[in-house]
Structure 1
Amino acid sequence: MRKVTTVIDINAHIRALTCDIKVQNGVVTAIIGFENLAYGTITAIKFHAVGYNSFNDIVPINGKEKFFLIIQDIHVGINETAKDLKAVLPNPDIRKLDLEECQICYSNGSVSTYKGKEEYTYEFEAFDFAKAEEKEIREALEDKFGRGFVYKPQEYENGWICGCGYFNLSDSDKCLSCETYKSDAFSVCSADVLKQIVMEHHIAEEERKKRALKQQEQEERVKRQKYIKIGICAVVVLIFAIFLGHSIVMSGRTLYSSEKEMKEALQGKYTHYYDNGDAMQQIEIKGDQVKIRWAFGGDLDSEVKEWNYKKGTFRTFQTYTVLRNGDIKDKNGTLFEKGGFMPIDGSDSDLSSSTTSAYESGY
């Protein structure tokens, strides 16, 4: 564990008070910020203020060194930080401002008065993330009590430090910041209780992993169903498109007088190319046998089940169309040009050879 030292004003209702001065068009404005402690939601705040000019001389207001600076109609929640709260200053010569809390109005209608500065220096311990064994303890404590519960609770004569680092007065049996009961917070000082908390953390982690896996499986199931629906819709659209474009397609086909004529005309190889001109896929027709090859390796054997010479199509496991120039196109519109050369990975054989690793043009 590592040592932590802090100075706390036990009478303060706010901390980390900041003030900047902005001068524009002769108007001097104070830009104020602070962190609200855990006594309630602040709706208005009054400060004791002392103004100074550029020479660090006090600028009196109505003949007095101090004046009240009031900011109203605000909403600063518990443990929230107020930023850029603006207040116009009563004298344009002010270039620096010393502020001290005076009174605070809360959303419940109560008003708290600052009793004056009463600071104490406290030393306590924090779990160190850099050490593996303490990192696990720290994560377990945050799992049980919430983020920021990383300190070892400590009791003092006039108050106690909670595991979240907040100082509470002695009469508080519950932390005003994280709302952890004092008895629960101090229970982590027991080694046995700490072991139990770590064990519960392990169980909770396993449950979270199971829930995450279940959620992932559910999302994948929904995604698969979505893809199935998309696929079905695509098929329906494709069928409809084919029907509408039938007459146009027929005009671009090669028709034959007989099955024999068609079969003889289509013998050979047909190649599909990438946009850059490299061969991607090749179809070889030999008799009624068809072999489909891919440049990256692998092939598929099929046979022509129907030579539809009247419509200029032939069917294997899918239907191919013969175009007017002698090229063929599958049902998805993939174009295979007559002939061509395609180097491939691997050395799968064509319909006439068992050793070739590239396919020559049919011409």
Structure 2
Amino acid sequence: MYKKTVAIDLNAHIDSLEYRVINNGNAYYGELSFFNLSYGTIHAIKFHGEYFNSFGDILPITNTDLLLQDLNIPPCSYFKYSFSLPDFQIRNFKLSVISIIFENGIVEAVSPNPYSYDIDVLDENDPADNKLLVLFRKAFPYSICLPKTNEIGWICTCGRWNSKEQNTCSRCGSKFEEVGTTESIKGIVETKLSEQKQKKNKKRALFFSIVGVIILALVVGIYLGPYRYFKLGYSYSELQSGNLEAARKGFEELGNYKTSRQWLDIIDVVEDYQGTWYSDEEGSSLQVVIKGRTLYAIVAFFENDVSVYAFDIVGGDENSLQLIADTVPIDGDTLIWNGRRYHKVSESVKVPEGTEAPSIGMTKEEALASTWGAPESINTTETSGNVHEQWVYPNNRYLYFDNGVLTGIQE
């Protein structure tokens, strides 16, 4: 067990804001990410930006504000966004929140209010500590520490400090009456564990001995684990980007935490598909790319007739994976698509020429020809001669156009 100091901004409505400049080979663009706390669904957010060149000089940008609109970021969720930069010389920038529009109105940003506190972290490599973590999280999936209360506030089991006026944790959404005291935790843990035990006497005795260990740990003030749910968000973002290897590594490090095992099971099934396949029968190639919740099959005949098919791998249908296996079966080293047999020639996930993922600066025609294809719907807004379009895709994905040019991507 080791001590960890946690530093937060008590006045913040988002957490873990990160940003950077990325070069995609053709141009520089910006990328930002953050964790939305539990105050509500974010529909728009405005940042103040400072922009720098390679020498660290501040660039004289006319409009330094970055405005993201038409969003739908639920509470307690991770958000990642790519956008075009206001000047081609920008190589670094800093962002700070000006204001946020939630589903119930506008929240103006206020001056930072830093606050620090200590928690004692359990060593997950220690068998006894890890056993406590596994058992405890059956009742509280976000738990990383024991709750604490004082005259000014309380610390939730997820590790977030909240003021005494807050009845709901700003990070994980847990209620104070559920996690605010050792006594309430004891009751919930006992209930959760007893539901999973059979009513045999021997197992009952084992159950109460385990609960006794947990209660003893609570009494002596042992705190739980590192901030693993942030790692879950980053692992999912790698999956969203099609980086199965990086996503697998992240989910494996999380063990049985929350939905990580579900995503590992999905990767086990779909990763055999990802790669380049070729059919000698008609000279066609098949590119299979997995990104996030979707498996894309890109079929190219002689590299001039490209069709894109999409399968939801974790949709509302609990048999989504079986549907893929039935529609696109793999027989040994052979994949069968529409009656044609393909053999894998590469593990590469490079999309065939003429078909690529959307990127900043694309025209609407180029975006339609990308792996995302046509949107489900388009929302259009005209202001002062400018046309702003939001293209809506399945699984909360959006493309944003200003006067016909792609300026934002939300995955």
Give the TM-score of the pair, scaled to structure 1: 0.48
Which entry has the higher C-alpha Rg, 1 or 2?
A: 1
